[in-house]
Amino acid sequence: MSAAAKRFFYNDIFDKNNNITKSCKIRLISAINDHGYIRTGSYESKAQKKCIIINGSGCGHLFLTELCKLANCENTDYIISYDSLCPERTDGILFPSAALSVTIRDDQKSWEKYHGIPYKTINMKRFTDARERKKHKNMISFITKLESSAIAEAAKNFKIASELHTQTEKIYISAMDFQKKEKLTDEIIRKLLNT
């Protein structure tokens, strides 16, 4: 896999004429809330080229980690996002100098709704042994269903937590002295303007 990541990096990302100082910024593009596992944003709007990692084998983050290592070695700047379910794993990278985004999707169908946008795909299944996967097919299916169920349960708990938070907020708001707050705000603004 590291050879494939290296080939992809040097063919599609690295620019030897680029003199930009390397920087790594973090931007989250997924979250878990009372709606379940959601995408909060994407890198696609800032990229002219897109690469979708089809994560059928669950090892897409390893490919992205290899790309980050290469970017660090070559002083290439990038913006990275981490998976909200497993924060130690990368789920997307934007390379501004190459105008290229590399993001993970669980299947190709989840990306095809963005019809008309040209993209390259890298299927992670090619890095795993098909016979080994087949041996564990039932276990993979069972674990995947358990994971989906746990995310659905977490979404319910987030909804309850959100409702409780709103109730607490209402109590604080009802107890707030807005006249006192406005008076204090006016005093602070006057002091700031007089100095």
Residue-wise DSSP of 27-81:
---EEEETTEEEE---SGGG-SEEEEEE-TTS-HHHHHHHHHHHHHHTT--EEEE
Euclidean distance between CA atoms 139 and 161, whole angstroms: 32
Burial class (CB in 10 A: 0-12, 13-18, 19+), 89: middle
Query: Rounded mean pLDDT of 49-59?
Result: 78
- Per-residue pLDDT for 111 more than 60? no
Q: How much is the average pLDDT of 134-162?
A: 90
71 vs 20, more confident = 71
Most confidently modeled range among 90-94, 124-128, 166-170: 166-170
Whether residue 12 is predicted with pLDDT greater than 90 in this model: the reply is no
